[in-house]
Structure 1
Amino acid sequence: MKLTFCLENILTGRVNLVDLVDTLCVDHSVIEKRASVLAHSDSSLCFVLGQLISKDYLDSIAEEINEKLQQEGSTTIAELVKHYELPGDFMLEVIVERLGTIIQGQQDTNDPTVIFTDAFVARHRAHIRGVLSAITRPTQNPNDIQIPGMAEKLILSGRVPGILSGGRQVHRAMYIPSIYSRTQNEWVDNFLKQNGYLGKLNVFKISV
């Protein structure tokens, strides 16, 4: 009990148990056992990678993450893991629990380890719409489409006329604008009316 009391008083947010060995003059295995018991009995504490971490500390780093997120528009769990030196699964759980409260953002529906702000998504949606609207012929991997699925959503909603083929992976996707298909169909109709036939060479040229 005395050791548990010491741990509670030493803990100011995040502490590595290795650092407590000299401070408490107690064997590491004993500290680790007590820390585990403490974390299980106190919902405000977490025991992660040999460290005791308080929920207040997690809230404080969530505030830091939100500030950075609002400035940059997006972040990834990989970046946060590297910065805070915490496990990926744990970091993701911390973020998800605080989305909509401390952290004002949303997860990418295709990759939950990517976090966006609503403003970033809105800006990127408008950008993608502009890029796709300017395309007049089939184009593979349209430039600057960073959010997988965004182009597909715009096309399905009718806000961008065309189709996306080749799968949902951005680097393999082929965008075919409606104006291109319409132009090809008109060319075929006009050729048939004027010549009465459509040869294989003609079909090959227009890639029907």
Structure 2
Amino acid sequence: GTQSLHTNGMDEALALPTEKAVEIALRTQQIIANESGVADTVDPLGGSYYIESLTDAIEQQASEYLAKIDKLGGALHAVEQGFIQREIQDAAYKTQRAIERNEQIVVGVNQYQTDESIKPELLRVDEQVRIDQMAALQNLRAERDNDMVQAILGRIEQAAHIPNAPLMPLFVEAVEAYATLGEICDTLRGVFGEYVPESWV
């Protein structure tokens, strides 16, 4: 069964969701939870032959996929060889082709379209929010113990050079000293570099 259910705001692919979009997403969850009766039993679809057959098919295909990744040397090697990226691109291409050929129906996109032009009202964050946040960050850096911050960042850098060193306690200590996320990440970039995905065609 479903362990949890998240519904995105209808405009979330374009910008931060508006309050109206968030409300609609929330009400969708509440209707499912409180009006549909789906939560009245632990497994409302239990015993369904169709659902069980789908579950078996997913399990088998997932196992085959994991075995394929294992043969490549594991997930890290699969990423380094571009396997994961190619699989994602291939799946996206196949889906788009199926939509364009009407083999996969997407309501409002390739079936049941309307001539009405819809321009969503996107959330615009007040510029003053950015200005206030930058001022707060400057104040933080002026008031904190910068020597302590540099010391803990130095310890993070040293530990990051040691394979399998526990970094989380140092991260907590850094945050408690008011080091910023950017400062911590910059320290790690200095050790590990930055992952730049290759272009796989």
TM-score clears 0.5:
no
Give the TM-score band, short-chain normalised: under 0.3
Which is greater in Rg? 1
Relative contact order: is structure 1 or structure 2 higher (C-alpha 8 Å, sep ≥ 6)? 2
State the TM-score, normalized to the length of structure 2: 0.23
